[in-house]
Structure 1
């Protein structure tokens, strides 16, 4: 290809920005088909829009138009005469697919997140949390009052973090540890994976009482129930003692520095001098390179009031809580294991 042909294939600045803007329409279409579970209905083969509409109690012509648009983006395959089939992209929306994105699409592209993003400008103008301003409560209080949304969120975290969890298991050596306490451990998927890979290790999943009641089932199904407790509580008040390694995955990024320090100081208070603290987070590069963390940072701004941080910002935060950043362990993903020891 000569230079002129190459340049002709490149979108103009106007076209490039229009393509970015059209991502909103695509993401809303993905939300709709995820909410309706349409990928599951196509598991056994192609169906017409009318058949899909009958199965999902939707309007056939409107659904056909959504499917036609998503087929243009490669999410489904349009086979003519309003028949649609799965593609590799659509298979990620199957409910039982490995690392299924169905629940993530429902949570991030719709429901409470969608309404909060409609208030995004408020965060930019004021520095306040768009979600809190719109709903009159923080997101964790909202989930306490809306159990279906909470279930969707927990399912989203369990499914979308599987590849990160596996990367953590492969990247970090837990052989010298005896008892792991996963603070804000959710349903326990990361704890279960680490314990399965390290049969000598005992564990504790610590989260809100309403969450850990559900984690007991996952831990038992993973075959680690006898080695792992599920303990309910509030990490702003205290955390369980007795661990020599404390883990948090995607927890500190949810909170501003003041509230993050409360959690970290509670861990420091009970962690032994030879203990280790491991945070699984995305570190913001100090240069201008593209990175997932810079997108996730806006989710934190909008939804929780937290933030993604640079390595130096984590070092400062640790120092204020009585820790010292000892090393950053890369994984096969864009997330790192940030290891801290007692100062």
Structure 2
């Protein structure tokens, strides 16, 4: 690593804060229809002209705006990922990161104490926080393309019912229902999350709601009701500690039909917990906001094996664009 790379890593907060602020100000949406000069752009976002020009110039430097004849316009990347009207809008995640930015200032204290820097409530305490968090997860998944990629590569041809545990906005569930028209699904999640899920699905996927049951459920305390042919968990195990994850997977084993499929999607780390890099960095956020961390394939496969699962496989997703993997296992035939 040379000086330039290290310096860029160490000052990365500046670029992040600039993009978050530009998005929050509405700069990209104001340029959706036509280019604007700094005066018109400042008036559109109700901001100071000089300051607006500086942040717009920063967006040009970052490749998110073009500037020609003193007028700013969107680049293709901004039009694809930073407009609210885009199906690949990443802004939900960016605005979530902006809202939790203050949490990162507590990292040193968390490292010294080992204690979280915020309540480990999965953003359930305040409706506005719940909605921002759930829309962030939906935004990331849709912009990067995880849900469609996963749905296309899972063989659910012999599965009639799938349960998405901690399914949040239902992004993965909807993708699986599109790919497998015979399938019915249940999203199990916390009450505040389900309110947001119902809103998002009603806005964007009203037809899918007829094939989805939304069930209040806390995987730490509740048993999975009923039986299903497949269970899916995306970005769940990284929120919990080792003991709770082992317990949750035992519950999943009991809930599956014989021969049923268990699918876990997460940052699945190497044995040293250093790769993928995104997972090693994200583990610091998890330290501050949850009881968990990112886990290795050896750890996840051990929990699955102890629960009774067989045919445990690691399926890495291509990176880029993805930073996670799937672990897939089966409940043996003949097990009840």
TM-score, structure 2 normalization: 0.87
Report if aligned partners of 2:90, 2:140 keep a CA contact under 8 Å in 1.
yes
Equivalent residue number for residue 124 of structure 1: 111
Equivalent residue number for residue 32 of structure 2: 43
RMSD: 2.2
1:169-200: CA deviation from partner (whole Å, max 9, x where unpaired): 11111101111011001121211110121111
Aligned pair 1:240/2:229, yes or no? no
Q: CA deviation at 1:36?
A: 1.9
Aligned pair 1:70/2:59, yes or no? yes
User: CA distance change for structure 1 residues 184 and 28 in 2, over 3 Å: closer, same or farther?
Assistant: same
Report if aligned partners of 2:131, 2:196 keep a CA contact under 8 Å in 1.
no
Q: Matches of residues 1-343 of structure 1 in structure 2 within 5 Å? A: 13-79=2-68, 81=70, 83-91=71-79, 92-108=81-97, 110-111=98-99, 113-130=100-117, 132=118, 137-140=119-122, 143-162=123-142, 163-219=145-201, 221=205, 223-238=207-222, 239-286=224-271, 291-324=277-310, 326-332=312-318, 333-342=322-331
User: CA distance change for structure 1 residues 139 and 47 in 2, over 3 Å: closer, same or farther?
Assistant: farther
Cα distance in 1 for partners of 2:53, 2:126 equals 31
SS across alignment from 1:119? helix
Report if aligned partners of 1:274, 1:341 keep a CA contact under 8 Å in 2.
yes
Report if aligned partners of 1:171, 1:331 keep a CA contact under 8 Å in 2.
no
1:204-261: CA deviation from partner (whole Å, max 9, x where unpaired): 0111122223434554625222222111121112223221211111111121212323
Unaligned regions of 5+ residues in structure 2, if any? none
Q: CA deviation at 1:320?
A: 4.0
Cα distance in 2 for partners of 1:212, 1:318 equals 27
Unaligned regions of 5+ residues in structure 1, if any? 1-11
Report if aligned partners of 2:130, 2:193 keep a CA contact under 8 Å in 1.
no
Count how many residue pairs are aligned between Structure 1 and Structure 2: 322
TM-score, structure 1 normalization: 0.86
Report if aligned partners of 1:208, 1:234 keep a CA contact under 8 Å in 2.
yes
